[in-house]
Amino acid sequence: MVKVPDDRLDKLAELVSARKITYLEQRILDFPSLTAGKKGPAAQLLAAMATCDLFVHVVRAFKDESIPHPAETIDPSRDIAAVDLELALVDLGVVERRLERVAAEMRSLAAGARGSYEREQVLLQRLKAALEAETPIRELGLTPEELASLGGFNLLTSKPLLIVLNVDEADAARSDEIEAEFRPKLSGTNVDVIALPAKAEADLAELPAEEAAEFRAELGLPPETALGRLLQATVSLLGLISFFTAGPQDTHAWSVAEGTAAVKAAGKIHSDIERGFIRAEVIGWQEYVDCGTLVEAKKRGLLRVEGKTYVVKDGDVINVLFNV
């Protein structure tokens, strides 16, 4: 379990002198290299992967002669494609088995009673054709209804994917350039790429904050840590935004899907708050910090009153008024 760093939350907590700061948390499962024999990846590994909301594929893109891996064989694109193929083959097996069951069920039904199975069969055949062409399911532009109908299958190539290119320390300052080089090759729906010098970042993580910041500047690394970049990238890929509640007892980050209405966001805080929702006082986090107090924000007309249907925006600070 890891906390998602968020400078916005830190500044809000400082503003209200919060005794407690509650960050978003993510549960990260560290899987071994996805190498498969004749029978494919182990069933236990696949079962664990099926529970994940998103995959982070860490790919070697550095040369190190001390590691028994000849430098001339370093090929991130090849390694990414190999794992993509393994996942597609796993999904293809799931789809083919389901198609067989659907066909068997249809044979036992009268023609007029096969409607739902016929629709599922058409969708599964579409998935099968795509997977045979090594196209991940996330690229098919499925409707929310179609995705919901596939939810129980936990298809691996339907999940968002973050590619992490593990680069040389010497290439740390070129991270943006490396990402720009690989993005056109790997672009797609719910796919992103970041480049990180993992060993250098691991060493920096052991240093005091001020010392680490100095070394980061010397190496040409961005001020944000590798962990911070990775976690924020995963939050974005999952289609989530963050809103905040800011109080002296607890200043808290909450995540909701982009497009969530205020009343549903209130339910993330507590079901009673959603049930008794009256209205929400809303201000952008930067506006709040600039004003210093809510009293000043009200004077400037920046503290808004919103109803149930207000769509929460990333970075909103929300105080919900409710009655149960």
Digit-coded pLDDT (tens) for 200-229 = 889 998 999 889 888 888 888 888 888 888
What pairing do the DSSP bridges indicate for beta strands 316-322 and 277-284? antiparallel
Distance CA 313, CA 241 (A): 7
The token pair that represents 186 in the structure block:
């790997």
The fraction of the chain above a pLDDT of 90, given in percent, is 55
- Strand order across the 304-306 sheet: 21-22, 251-257, 240-245, 316-322, 277-284, 304-306
| Mean pLDDT across 133-161 | 91
Digit-coded pLDDT (tens) for 99-108 = 999 998 888 8
Q: What is the structure's pLDDT at 66? A: 63
pLDDT at 174 over 80: yes
| Mean pLDDT across 84-97 | 93
Residue ranges with strand state E in 85-232? 161-167, 191-196
pLDDT at 70 over 60: no
Distance CA 25, CA 23 (A): 6
- Sorting pLDDT into bands at 50, 70 and 90, what band is 72? low
**Domains of the chain, first to last:** 54-237 (1.10.150.300), 240-322 (3.10.20.30)
Q: Comparing 145 with 66, which gets the higher pLDDT? A: 145
Distance CA 255, CA 314 (A): 9
Structural Rg of the chain based on CA atoms: 24
Distance CA 21, CA 248 (A): 9
- Sorting pLDDT into bands at 50, 70 and 90, what band is 45? confident
When the pLDDT of each residue in the chain is averaged and rounded to a whole number, the result is 89
